[in-house]
Amino acid sequence: MNVQATAAIAPGEERLDLADVRRRVRAIFIGSVGNLVEWYDFYAYAAFALYFAGAFFPGSDPVVQQLNAALLFALGFIVRPIGGWLFGHLADQYGRRRALMLSVLLMCFGSLMIAVTPTYASIGVAAPMLLGLARVVQGLSLGGEYGTSATYLSEVADEKHRGFYSSFQYVTLIGGQLCAILVLLLLQQVFLTPVQLRAWGWRIPFVIGALLAVTALAMRRNLPETDEFVAARKVARRTSSLRALAKYPREVMLVVGLTMGGTTAFYTYTTYMQKFLRLSVGLNDIQTTVVTAGSLIFALLLQPVYGALSDRIGRKALLIWFGVMGTIFTIPLLDALEAARSGLIAFLLIAGAWTIVAGYTSINAVVKAELFPTSVRATGVGLPYAVTVSIFGGTVESIALWCQSIGHQRWFYYYLTAVIATSLLVYVTMRDTKRASAMGRHE
């Protein structure tokens, strides 16, 4: 009789499970697509800086022009903590969906600003000032996007597959960069000449980004709110997000410590790597774009694999893998890459670096989300992360290009190794958040 009862219930249970999986997958897809669009818009600046830097920063030295463009790129990171706090507060007090909608709307405005800003030849010093303002707008948007989307993806996932599902934040984050590179490749190879790209073609990706942001905004209108936020609203009263976050100083410092090495490595092998291949390795424009795109595809494919692995062996083991291997192999990898004169060799070396860095990128969102209770999770993930990225990630290009400009490029290699080694100390001493998770706590 028990067997018959089980048989009678099983089909309904399967339908319920299937409906639940579909709901989660749909929510993750929509949330991830919006994340992809935001990161595409933000990184289109880095991908096309080789073409528009001369339009805003006159001069004859391309390294100095790229350094000036990199300083404005860093400006977008400086304001990210403000975005992390503002959107984290909105997400914790009024819902994840509303914060996600507002962040993508703000990114649309920033991209439109870059698309229509006149050059230095037309309006003088006002041109780089307007470009800087647009980067501030984009930085505010992205500062809010990371913490809110990391929180949303972690909360909408089921417990057994949280690492896998949340890894799609970096799938779409890297995918956004990849889309920017692919747009560059199409414009280079199919539609425009190098002269046209430098004259006006660099504006096209920002127009595309604004249009994609509008599409993402329409999709996010239909996002369901997470069950955890709904449950937390029933038991927690509204309070200042900063006052609430102050109750978790240890968790805040953990976010800073575990982020600093990973974000420095991430931006080295993404935004800075394009300039490194062009200015240091000596690849031409097409080789640089192809190698960059190929390495990003490889990195994208690694994220869900590592995320799923973390669901089986825990988060801490992957973080230690990144810390140990990054400390040992960063300098040899970058030395070999600098000496490479082949696009294939450059790709293989960068791919090797990504097998290390993915130990951080694939799970860093879920690790931070698992540190905080629901009522302060978006702020707890977003604000300390944004501060750390502003200090370490946003300055990667500026520090690396400065070291190159004074003839000591290898100093940057030592700097990157030291930062990764510092984070390794945090990875070794912290608890595994998979086994000591704050998910489900609504205090």
Q: Distance between CA atoms of 369 and 379, rounded to whole angstroms? A: 10
The whole-number pLDDT of residue 418 equals 96
Exposure of 154 by Cβ count < 10 A (0-12 exposed, 13-18 middle, 19+ buried)? buried
Tell me what the pLDDT averaged over the chain comes to. 82
State the pLDDT confidence band at 253, using cuts at 50, 70 and 90: very high
Looking at residues 244-265, what average pLDDT do you find?
Answer: 89
- Cα–chain-centroid distance for residue 386? 11
Q: Distance between CA atoms of 27 and 35, rounded to whole angstroms? A: 12
Q: Which whole-number Å values give the CA distances from 36 to 41, 69, 177, 179, 411, in the listed order?
A: 9, 23, 8, 9, 33
State the pLDDT confidence band at 219, using cuts at 50, 70 and 90: confident
Q: Distance between CA atoms of 169 and 360, rounded to whole angstroms? A: 13
| Contact assessment for residue 111 and residue 213, using Cβ atoms and an 8 Å cutoff | yes
State the pLDDT confidence band at 127, using cuts at 50, 70 and 90: confident
- Cα–chain-centroid distance for residue 204? 22
Q: Read off the pLDDT of residues 275-284 as tens digits, 9 standing for 90 and up.
A: 888 877 778 8
Contacts (Cβ under 8 Å, ≥6 apart) of 32: 149, 153, 168, 169, 171, 172
The whole-number pLDDT of residue 237 equals 58
The whole-number pLDDT of residue 241 equals 67
The whole-number pLDDT of residue 176 equals 84
Q: Within 10 A of 119 (CB to CB), how many other CB atoms are there?
A: 17
State the pLDDT confidence band at 347, using cuts at 50, 70 and 90: very high
Q: Which whole-number Å values give the CA distances from 299 to 44, 270, 351, 374, in the listed order?
A: 18, 10, 7, 30
Q: Read off the pLDDT of residues 36-94 as tens digits, 9 standing for 90 and up.
A: 877 787 778 777 877 877 777 776 566 666 666 767 766 777 888 888 888 888 888 88
State the pLDDT confidence band at 325, using cuts at 50, 70 and 90: very high
* pLDDT score of 266 more than 70: yes
* pLDDT score of 256 more than 60: yes
> Hey, what are 98's tokens?
């509303």
Better-scored residue on pLDDT, 324 or 190? 324
Better-scored residue on pLDDT, 402 or 146? 402
Residue showing tokens 């706590």? 441
Segment holding 191, helix H or strand E = none
Least confident of 70-84, 93-107, 347-361: 70-84
Q: Distance between CA atoms of 46 and 388, rounded to whole angstroms? A: 20
| Contact assessment for residue 51 and residue 197, using Cβ atoms and an 8 Å cutoff | yes
Looking at residues 236-264, what average pLDDT do you find?
Answer: 82
Q: Which of 56, 270, 64 is nearest to 180 (CA)?
A: 270
The whole-number pLDDT of residue 61 equals 63
Looking at residues 372-384, what average pLDDT do you find?
Answer: 83
Helix-helix angle 285-313:343-361, to 10 degrees: 30
* pLDDT score of 185 more than 70: yes
The whole-number pLDDT of residue 302 equals 94
Which amino acid would we find at residue 7? A
Better-scored residue on pLDDT, 126 or 20? 126
State pTM to two decimals: 0.80
The whole-number pLDDT of residue 328 equals 95
The whole-number pLDDT of residue 8 equals 43
Residue extents of the structural domains in the chain: 30-235+249-429
Exposure of 121 by Cβ count < 10 A (0-12 exposed, 13-18 middle, 19+ buried)? exposed
The whole-number pLDDT of residue 11 equals 47
The whole-number pLDDT of residue 419 equals 96
| Contact assessment for residue 87 and residue 386, using Cβ atoms and an 8 Å cutoff | no
Q: Which CATH architecture has domain 30-235+249-429?
A: Up-down Bundle (1.20)
Q: Which whole-number Å values give the CA distances from 84 to 65, 80, 87, 209, in the listed order?
A: 30, 6, 6, 22
With a pLDDT cut of 90, the percent of the chain lying above it is 20
Q: Distance between CA atoms of 180 and 208, rounded to whole angstroms? A: 10
* pLDDT score of 401 more than 80: yes
Q: Distance between CA atoms of 365 and 241, rounded to whole angstroms? A: 20
| Contact assessment for residue 367 and residue 151, using Cβ atoms and an 8 Å cutoff | no
